[in-house]
Structure 1
Amino acid sequence: MAVPHADVGESTPLLPNGSVGTSAHRSFSDVLKGRGEPSWSTSLRFYLFSSWSNAVLIFVPLSAAAHYAQWDAGARFALSFMAIVPLAKLLGEATNQLSIKLGQTLGGLLNASFGNAVEIIVAIDALLHGQLRIVQTSLLGSILSNLLLVLGMSFFAQGVANGHGAEGTFGATAAQTSTSLMTLSCLTLVIPAAYHAAKFTGDDPLDPVRTVWQRDSLSGTYGRPLDGLLVISRGTAILLLLTYFAYLFFQFWTHKELFDEVKQQEGEDERASMSMISAGACLVAVTVITSFCADFLVASIEETAENYHIPKPFIGVVLLPLVSNAAEHVTSVWMATKSKMELVIAISIGSSIQIATFVIPLLVIIGWAVGQPLSLFFADFETIILFVSVLLVNLLIQDGKSNYMEGLMLIILYAVTALAFWVS
Structure 2
Amino acid sequence: MSPSERSPLLDGHPNGHSGSRISSFFKAEGEPTWVGSLRFLFFSSYFNLFLVFVPLSVISHHLNWDAGLRFAFSFLAIVPLAKLLGESTEQLSMKLGETLGGLLNASFGNAVEIIVGVAALVQGELRIVQTSMLGSILSNLLLVLGMSFVSGQAYKPENVFQETAAQTSSSLMTLACFTLVIPAAYHSAKEANHPPFNKHVDDALSILSNLNSTKGDGGPPAPGGQSEPGLLVISRFTSILLLLVYTAYLYFQLGSHADLFTKKKVDEHGEPIEEEEEEPSMSMVSAAISLLAITVVTSFCADYLVASIEETAEKYHIPKPFIGVVLIPLVSNAAEHVTAVWMAAKGKMDLTIGIAVGSSIQIAVFVIPLLVLVGWGIHQPLTLYFSDFETVSLFVSVLLVNLLVQDGKSNYMEGIMLITLYLVIGAAFWVS
Q: Same fold (TM over 0.5)?
A: yes
Aligned to 2:220: 209
Q: TM-score, normalised by structure 2?
A: 0.87
Separation in 2, partners of 1:170, 1:238: 32
CA drift at 1:390: 0.1
Distance 1:73 1:106, change over 3 A: same
Q: 2:155 aligns with which of 162, 173, 176?
A: 162
Separation in 2, partners of 1:80, 1:211: 28
Q: 1:312 aligns with which of 320, 330, 336?
A: 320
**Alpha-carbon contact 1:162-1:337 (below 8 Å) kept:** yes
SS of 2:225's equivalent? strand
CA drift at 1:319: 0.0
Q: TM-score, normalised by structure 1?
A: 0.89
- Could you tell which deviates more after superposition, 203-212 or 82-91? 203-212
Is the counterpart of residue 70 in structure 1 residue 81 in structure 2? Answer: no
Distance 1:210 1:350, change over 3 A: closer
Aligned to 2:285: 277
Separation in 1, partners of 2:218, 2:177: 19
Q: 1:104 aligns with which of 84, 88, 98?
A: 98
Distance 1:268 1:127, change over 3 A: farther
**Alpha-carbon contact 2:79-2:334 (below 8 Å) kept:** yes
CA drift at 1:29: 5.1
Q: 2:163 aligns with which of 162, 172, 185?
A: 172
Give the number of the structure whose alpha-carbon radius of gyration is greater: 1
Report Cα offsets for 1:356-391 as digits up to 9, x if no partner.
001000111111111111000000000000000000
Distance 1:51 1:30, change over 3 A: farther
- Could you tell which deviates more after superposition, 122-131 or 200-209? 200-209
- Could you tell which deviates more after superposition, 107-116 or 69-78? 107-116
Is the counterpart of residue 121 in structure 1 residue 115 in structure 2? Answer: yes
Distance 1:231 1:374, change over 3 A: same
Q: 1:375 aligns with which of 383, 397, 400?
A: 383
CA drift at 1:336: 0.4
Question: Which structure 2 residue ranges, 5 or more long, are not aligned?
Answer: 1-13, 192-201, 266-271
Q: 1:53 aligns with which of 24, 28, 47?
A: 47
CA drift at 1:207: 4.7
CA drift at 1:212: 1.7
Is the counterpart of residue 135 in structure 1 residue 126 in structure 2? Answer: no
- Could you tell which deviates more after superposition, 122-131 or 229-238? 229-238
SS of 1:378's equivalent? coil
Q: Report percent identity of matched pairs.
A: 66
The count of corresponding residues between Structure 1 and Structure 2 is: 392
Separation in 2, partners of 1:268, 1:330: 24
Distance 1:399 1:36, change over 3 A: same
Report Cα offsets for 1:150-193 as digits up to 9, x if no partner.
1000000001x115xx1111100000000000000000111100
Aligned to 2:424: 416
Q: 1:365 aligns with which of 360, 373, 380?
A: 373
**Alpha-carbon contact 1:30-1:39 (below 8 Å) kept:** no
Separation in 2, partners of 1:262, 1:377: 42
**Alpha-carbon contact 2:37-2:283 (below 8 Å) kept:** yes
Q: 2:228 aligns with which of 220, 226, 229?
A: 226
Separation in 1, partners of 2:264, 2:56: 39
SS of 1:36's equivalent? coil
Aligned to 2:177: 186
**Alpha-carbon contact 1:262-1:346 (below 8 Å) kept:** no
**Alpha-carbon contact 1:147-1:349 (below 8 Å) kept:** yes
Distance 1:295 1:51, change over 3 A: same
Which letter does structure 2 place at the counterpart of 1:235? Answer: F
Report Cα offsets for 1:231-266 as digits up to 9, x if no partner.
11111111111111111111111111111228999x
Separation in 2, partners of 1:342, 1:156: 15
Aligned to 1:220: none
Aligned to 2:196: none
Which letter does structure 2 place at the counterpart of 1:50? Answer: S
| Matches for 1:29-40 after TM superposition, within 5 Å | 31-40=25-34
**Alpha-carbon contact 2:158-2:409 (below 8 Å) kept:** yes
Separation in 1, partners of 2:222, 2:89: 39
How much is the aligned-residue C-alpha RMSD, in angstroms?
Answer: 2.1
CA drift at 1:21: 7.0
Q: 1:92 aligns with which of 41, 61, 86?
A: 86
